[in-house]
Amino acid sequence: MTQALSASRSRKVSFPLARLGYGAAALALLAATGVLEGYELFLASSILSYAIAAMGLNVLMGYNGQISLGHGAFFAIGAYAAAICIDRFAVPFALTPVIAGVVGMAAGWLIGKPALRLEGVYLALATFGLAIATPTVLRSDLFAEWTGGVQGLFLLINPAPEWAGLDLDQSIYLAVVGYFLLFAFLTLRLVRGLNGKAWIATRDNPIAARAMGFDVTRAKTRAFVFSVLACSVGGALQAVAVQFVAPDSFPFFLSISLFTAVVVGGLCSPLIGPLLGAVFIVMVPNVTEEIWQGGSWAVYGGVIIAIMAIQPRGLAGMLGWVKDKLTTHTNR
C-alpha cells in the first residue's frame, strides 16, 4: 500500500517535470537560432528532419512491430513533392511539407493497402523493393519534365521577410524546428492514447488484440500512414535545407540509414530515440571518416555492433540505464 502511494506520488511529480523538460528543450531549440550559424544551422536542420522521419518509422517498427526497409522511398517522395512545389509553383518553402505530407500519405495508402497484407520479413522485402525502384523511377525520362531527370532540381528559396531579421539558414531552421515540435506533440499524443494501445496490442498478440475489440487492420494501416507522413515531411524539410534534389540523393541505402536511426536510437522511445538516431546517422559517418579515411564504413559498422552488444535498446536505452543508476545512487 505504501509502495503504491509512493509510486502514485512519484508519477504526479514526474509528469509536470516531464512537461517542464519538454518546454525547456523546445526553448533551447528555438534559442539555437541565434547561437548557431551557417553550416551548424544546416546540420541542425538535417538532424531534426531525419528525426521527424525516424519518429514515424519508430511508430511503425517499435510500437506496431512492422519492419520496413523502404521508407527512404517516402522520404524521396516528400523531397521531390516539395522541390516541384517550389520550382514550378513558387510555393513558400514553409508550406511545402504540408503538401509533401498529403502526397506522401496518398502514396503510402496506395502502396500500404496491398503491402500490409504481408507481415514480417515479407513486408520488409516488399518495402525494400520499393526503395530499390524509387531512384530508377526518379531518373526516368518519363517524369523528367517534373523531376529534372538525372540532373535533379536546384531550389531557389526566398528567406523570411526583411522585417523578421532572419537570414535564409535561420528561416529554414526555424521552419524545421516548428515541424519537429509539431511531430513530437503528435507522436506523444498518439503513442500514449488509444492508437498507441491498439498498436502495441497488435504487435504483441493480434488475436488477443481482436478479442479486446481492436481493429488490427486499421491499427496497422494507421501506423503505416503516420510513418509515411512523417517520412514525407522529413524529406521535404531536408530538400529545403539542402536546396537541391537528385535521384542519387535517395539511394536504397537511405532506407537502411533510417532503419539504423530507429534501432540504434532505441525502439519504443518516441522522442529521444529518434533524435539520438538522427544525430547518429548524420554525424557519425563524418567522425568515422576522420578516424579512418577509406575505411570509414568499417568503423561505422563496428560502432553499430558495439552499441547493440552493449545495450540492445540503443542509445535511449543507455541514457535510461544511466538515469536509473543516478536515481538509485541519489536515493541511497
Convert the pLDDT of each residue in 121-162 to its tens digit: 788 888 888 889 998 999 888 888 899 989 999 998 887 777
Judge contact between 240 and 155, C-beta under 8 A. yes
* DSSP 8-class letter at 51: H
The pLDDT value recorded for residue 81 is 96
Residue 97 C-alpha cell reads as 511539407
Return the SS3 of 110: helix
- Supply the DSSP string of 225-256, one letter for each residue: HHHHHHHHHHHHHHHHHHTEE-GGGS-HHHHH
Between the CA of residue 226 and those of 109, 149, 155, 197, 250, what are the distances in Å? Answer: 10, 29, 27, 15, 20
Residue 2 C-alpha cell reads as 505504501
Residues whose CB falls within 8 Å of the CB of residue 167, separated by 6 or more in sequence, listed in order: 159
Residues whose CB falls within 8 Å of the CB of residue 181, separated by 6 or more in sequence, listed in order: 26, 29
| Distance separating alpha carbons of residues 37 and 28, to the nearest angstrom | 15
In 3-state terms the chain splits into helix, strand, coil percentages (rounded to 5) of 80, 0, 15
Largest CA distance in the chain: 71
Judge contact between 256 and 268, C-beta under 8 A. no
Strands annotated E in the chain: 153-154, 244-245
* DSSP 8-class letter at 270: S
Angle at 120 between CA 116 and CA 125, to 5 degrees: 80
The pLDDT value recorded for residue 1 is 46
The pLDDT value recorded for residue 44 is 96
**pLDDT digits 0-9 by tens, 247-281:** 999 998 999 999 999 999 998 788 999 999 999 99
> With a cut of 70, which residues of the chain have pLDDT below it?
1-17, 115-116, 332
In this prediction the pTM is: 0.91
The pLDDT value recorded for residue 267 is 87
